Amino acid sequence: MIDTHTHINMIESISIEEILNNAKENGIEKVIVPSANPKDFPEIAELINKYDNVYGMLGVHPSDAKDWDDSLINQIKDLCNNKKIVAIGEIGLDYYWDKSFNDLQKDVFIKQIKLANELNLPLDVHDREAHKDTFDILKQYNINSKVVMHCFSGSVEFAKECVKEGYYLGIGGVVTFKNAIKMKEVAKHIPLEYIILETDAPYLTPVPYRGKENQPAYVKYVAEEIAKLKEISYEEVKNVTTSNAERIFNL
């Protein structure tokens, strides 16, 4: 399996070697590490050079939109000469933490969509309490990039709208939470062909480790829950979501 969105550079309780060993022991062969801030770029470049099964994404998170600078466009283009940079992310809109610079968030999002289109890389999209604006901007500006709605948090209806556009949904630990009725409905009703697995570690740790620090190995609990909800085998979830991820990110 592939953990398609995991901040292994932010996990504090164990080393990178332990993280990758635990992942391997639990059937997670590859991980993709997004950046949130330009300060993360050197760290991601180092990780993908050092470890064969670690891939990266470059982008500026909406909550860090104030750190955007147009000179980053050329910087990202240069770093993307390394074929282990497999997407632009995480980028998008976040109206949960701070609504005071929504317009700036939109500008920075649009600039990065255009950049991904130019580089022909997929978009790894963060959408928190901004479903309508995120969707409208993607529809208006994205021409040729595949789209992943990372840590999908919308309704089944919104999920269906996304799938109609050909967007993929990244599903993580939240689906295992007992009270996550909406997420369970999404996992149940959206075709497996549009789902990929992620942890968003160190956050959003699935049951049975909820409350502790998350890590890529725990992707298996997400896969188990999706299998249970869809009443299909763990093997099928594993095989289909892995080939989805390989196709999207060209792994």
Helix (H, G, I), strand (E, B) or coil at 91: strand
**Per-residue x/- track, 171-190, Ni ion (CB under 5 A):** --------------------
Closest CB 56 distance from Ni ion, rounded Å? 13
* Interface size with Ni ion, residues (CB under 5 A): 1
Which structure tokens are listed for 62?
């909406």
Using the minimum distance from each CB to Ni ion, give the nearer residue, 61 or 220. Answer: 61
Helix (H, G, I), strand (E, B) or coil at 247: helix
User: Three-state SS string across 146-194, please?
Assistant: CEEEECCCCCHHHHHHHHHCCCEEEECHHHHCCCCHHHHHHHHHCCHHH
Closest CB 173 distance from Ni ion, rounded Å? 12
Phi, psi of 124 (to 5 degrees): -110, 105
* Biggest alpha carbon–alpha carbon distance for the chain: 49
Closest CB 5 distance from Ni ion, rounded Å? 6
Whether the Cβ atoms of residue 121 and residue 87 lie closer than 8 Å to each other: yes
Using the minimum distance from each CB to Ni ion, give the nearer residue, 64 or 200. Answer: 200
64 binds Ni ion per the rule CB under 5 A = no
Q: In the complex, which residue's CB is closest to Ni ion?
A: 200
Supply angle C-alpha 142, 48, 113, rounded to 5.
10
Closest CB 10 distance from Ni ion, rounded Å? 9
Closest CB 21 distance from Ni ion, rounded Å? 22
Using the minimum distance from each CB to Ni ion, give the nearer residue, 88 or 227. Answer: 88
**Per-residue x/- track, 188-207, Ni ion (CB under 5 A):** ------------x-------
Where on the chain is the footprint of Ni ion (CB under 5 A)?
Answer: 200
